[in-house]
């Protein structure tokens, strides 16, 4: 794939998509446009068709909001983008002159929907931003990008909005940064944007998420801006005013470089990295050793006709490591996903041994 960015920006500048979760009224949209002018957003976002997880919530104004956007585009010379989930949405947008879209997380999960959208935009001069699917599946995300690309669209960007999960987290959607990092490793030309609002879920996390995205070389942000966040018809908890976003997020970001020419710094880093690499090798060696032990247990359990999984033992391990994690300054969330991954691998080793 030879991808071009959906938002044309010099690489040292951040691409910015700002606007409300949902278009609610012409006045609301106009207020967003005027209040964000100083941040010079590349696109104003506003959802028109809202895929709500559960019924009974505001599902968007629908097609009439496209006319509001078209009018404001004429008045202020700004560009709007919106979410499309069906071929009909695409057609209605094109009719209203909206040629920048995003595909939402609940649509990216379904290759049939993505293909319908891809077919509907074939041959059109449009730019498409593709949010990650709600589940942490790199290939569904890549597949959606490939489907759109195969329909002849070159201007494609990826929007990272975090992943759904069951359980507790300080964020609305777990970032799992390794997935967007992997997508960028495979496609270095892909413009990568962070939807800081849908990851954070609350204004107080916006800066921390935006800073991480910046430090991971993301190319820009999507953020939900509303003139009166607490009375927003959708996603009220996470929207902020334009001035909040400008003063409390954009202005507080620290810009850093990818590389340095300072020799002293480079030597120090090289030394620390050597130490880190050594620890990584040790970790892998120890994990291998742990799996050999799991295999020995598998052998014993096989001859004693004992099942693989003992919930009490698992609870005991988690409890102990949680404690250890705290002692070592590691988050419980991290140690839990780490030990879970180790446990799954361990079960596989035991099971292979038992079913030989």
Cα(50)–Cα(63) distance, integer angstroms: 12
* Cβ count near 74 (within 10 Å): 10
Q: Which stretch binds Mn ion (CB under 5 A): 18-26, 122-130, 136-144, 225-233?
A: 18-26
Strand, helix or coil at 202? coil
| Smallest gap from residue 144 Cβ to ligand PEP (A) | 12
Cα(58)–Cα(61) distance, integer angstroms: 8
Residue 55 burial (10 A CB sphere; 0-12, 13-18, 19+): exposed
In the list Mn ion, ligand PEP, none, the entry touching 104 (Cβ below 5 to 8 angstroms by class) is ligand PEP
Report the residue closest to ligand PEP, judged by CB: 104
Total number of residues binding Mn ion (CB under 5 A)?
A: 2
In the list ligand PEP, Mn ion, none, the entry touching 161 (Cβ below 5 to 8 angstroms by class) is ligand PEP
Residue where the block lists tokens 């595909």 = 103
User: Is position 78 an interface residue for Mn ion (rule: CB under 5 A)?
Assistant: no
In the list Mn ion, ligand PEP, none, the entry touching 349 (Cβ below 5 to 8 angstroms by class) is none
User: Is position 21 an interface residue for Mn ion (rule: CB under 5 A)?
Assistant: yes
In the list ligand PEP, Mn ion, none, the entry touching 233 (Cβ below 5 to 8 angstroms by class) is none
Cα(243)–Cα(259) distance, integer angstroms: 32
Site residues, ligand PEP (CB under 6 A): 21, 47, 51, 104-106, 131, 161, 195, 198
In the list Mn ion, ligand PEP, none, the entry touching 226 (Cβ below 5 to 8 angstroms by class) is none
Name which of 75, 35, 6 is nearest 247 in CA terms.
Answer: 35
Is there a contact between 213 and 187 (Cβ–Cβ < 8 Å)? Answer: no
What would the two tokens of residue 334 be?
């991290």
| Smallest gap from residue 22 Cβ to ligand PEP (A) | 7
Candidate residues 235, 241, 249, 349; the one interacting with Mn ion per rule CB under 5 A: 235
The H-assigned helical ranges of 260-331 are 263-304, 311-327
- Nearer Cβ to ligand PEP (81/249): 81
In sign, the C-alpha dihedral spanning 287, 290, 296, 299 is negative
Name which of 261, 209, 197 is nearest 234 in CA terms.
Answer: 197
- Nearer Cβ to ligand PEP (23/153): 23
Question: For the chain, how many residues are written?
Answer: 356
| Smallest gap from residue 83 Cβ to ligand PEP (A) | 6
- Nearer Cβ to ligand PEP (183/325): 183
In the list ligand PEP, Mn ion, none, the entry touching 176 (Cβ below 5 to 8 angstroms by class) is none
Is there a contact between 158 and 132 (Cβ–Cβ < 8 Å)? Answer: yes
What would the two tokens of residue 138 be?
């790199």
In the list Mn ion, ligand PEP, none, the entry touching 131 (Cβ below 5 to 8 angstroms by class) is ligand PEP
| Smallest gap from residue 58 Cβ to ligand PEP (A) | 11
- Nearer Cβ to ligand PEP (86/351): 86
Element (H, E) at 212: helix 206-215
What would the two tokens of residue 152 be?
């002849």
User: Is position 24 an interface residue for Mn ion (rule: CB under 5 A)?
Assistant: no
**Interface contacts to Mn ion, rule CB under 5 A:** 21, 235
């Amino acid at each position: 794939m030879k991808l071009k960015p959906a938002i044309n920006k010099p690489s040292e500048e951040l691409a910015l998509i700002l606007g409300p979760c949902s278009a609610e009224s012409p006045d609301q949209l106009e207020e967003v446009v005027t209040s964000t002018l100083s941040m010079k957003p590349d696109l104003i976002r506003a959802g028109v068709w809202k895929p709500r997880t559960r019924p009974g919530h505001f599902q968007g104004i629908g097609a009439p909001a496209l006319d509001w956007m078209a009018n404001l585009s004429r008045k202020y010379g700004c560009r709007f983008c919106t979410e499309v989930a069906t071929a009909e949405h695409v057609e209605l947008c094109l009719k209203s002159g909206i040629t920048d879209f995003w595909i939402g997380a609940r649509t990216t999960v379904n290759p049939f929907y993505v293909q319908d959208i891809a077919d509907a935009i074939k041959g059109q001069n449009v730019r498409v931003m593709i949010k990650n699917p709600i589940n942490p599946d790199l290939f569904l995300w890549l597949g959606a990008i490939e489907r759109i690309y195969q329909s002849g669209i070159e201007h494609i960007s990826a929007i990272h909005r975090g992943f759904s999960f069951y359980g507790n987290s300080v964020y609305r959607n777990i970032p799992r940064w390794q997935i967007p990092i992997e997508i960028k490793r495979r496609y270095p030309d892909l413009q990568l944007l962070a939807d800081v609002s849908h990851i954070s879920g609350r204004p107080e996390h916006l800066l921390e998420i935006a800073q991480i995205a910046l430090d991971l070389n993301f190319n820009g942000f999507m953020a939900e801006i509303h003139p009166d966040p607490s009375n927003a018809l959708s996603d009220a908890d996470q929207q902020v005013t334009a001035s909040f976003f400008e003063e409390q997020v954009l202005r507080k970001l620290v810009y850093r470089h990818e590389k340095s020419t300072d020799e002293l710094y480079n030597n120090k880093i090289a030394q620390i990295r050597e130490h880190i690499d050594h620890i990584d090798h040790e970790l892998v060696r120890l994990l291998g050793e742990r799996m050999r032990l799991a295999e020995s247990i598998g052998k014993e359990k096989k001859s004693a006709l004992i099942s693989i999984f003992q919930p009490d033992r698992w609870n005991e391990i988690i409890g102990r490591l949680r404690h250890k994690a705290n002692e070592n300054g590691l988050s419980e969330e991290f140690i839990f996903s780490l030990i879970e991954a180790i446990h799954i691998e361990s079960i596989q080793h035991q099971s292979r041994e038992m079913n030989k």
